[in-house]
Structure 1
Amino acid sequence: MDKINLSKEKKAKMISSIKKYFQDERDEDLGDLASSMILDFFIKDLAAEFYNQGVSDSHKYMSDRVEELFEIQKY
């Protein structure tokens, strides 16, 4: 899979979300560096699984829609 490129704005928003999560859920104050490293880990090690699940879900959806085409055949 190609490297995921995020805009500076998107990456900053994700880092902010990670910091907020740790503050709200774990009462931990994470800095920008730690949050950025967590985001990089997710992208490097976990993103492919989410991507593959999206591809699989899309395939199933499209396959189901194609099958529905046969239901409108006229005899």
Structure 2
Amino acid sequence: MNTIKFSQLETEQLVTKIQHYFAIELNQDLGQFDAEFLLDFFAKEVGAYFYNRGLFDAQTVISGKLENVSEMIQEGISEIEKPVS
């Protein structure tokens, strides 16, 4: 998988969040270049973990929905099934 790419707006928002975190939690000023570098590092090194977790969560939700649909189809077919003798 390629490195996760963010739009310019997303990058700006994420850089701002990183800078804010460093200022509040670590009491350190982080320049834009350093924050972008850190964002690139996390996107490259750990981004796939978050991406894969998102896929897993989406699969779980979709599987649950499909299970409900399958049950509804089975119930619907049972309702119109003709008795045999």
User: For the superposition of Structure 1 and Structure 2, which TM-score range results when normalised by the shorter chain?
Assistant: 0.7 to 0.9
- Contact 2:3 / 2:47 at 8 angstroms: preserved in 1? no
Question: Structure 1 length normalisation: TM-score?
Answer: 0.86
- Correspondence 1:18 to 2:18: yes
Aligned to 1:3: 3
Bigger drift between 2-11 and 32-41 goes to 2-11
Aligned to 2:32: 32
Percent identity, aligned pairs only?
32
Aligned pair count reads 75
Unaligned segments of structure 2, at least 5 residues: 79-85
Unaligned segments of structure 1, at least 5 residues: none
C-alpha offsets along residues 2-61 of structure 1, whole Å, 9 cap, x if unaligned?
332222222122111101100011111111121111101110011101110111111111
Structure of greater Rg? 2
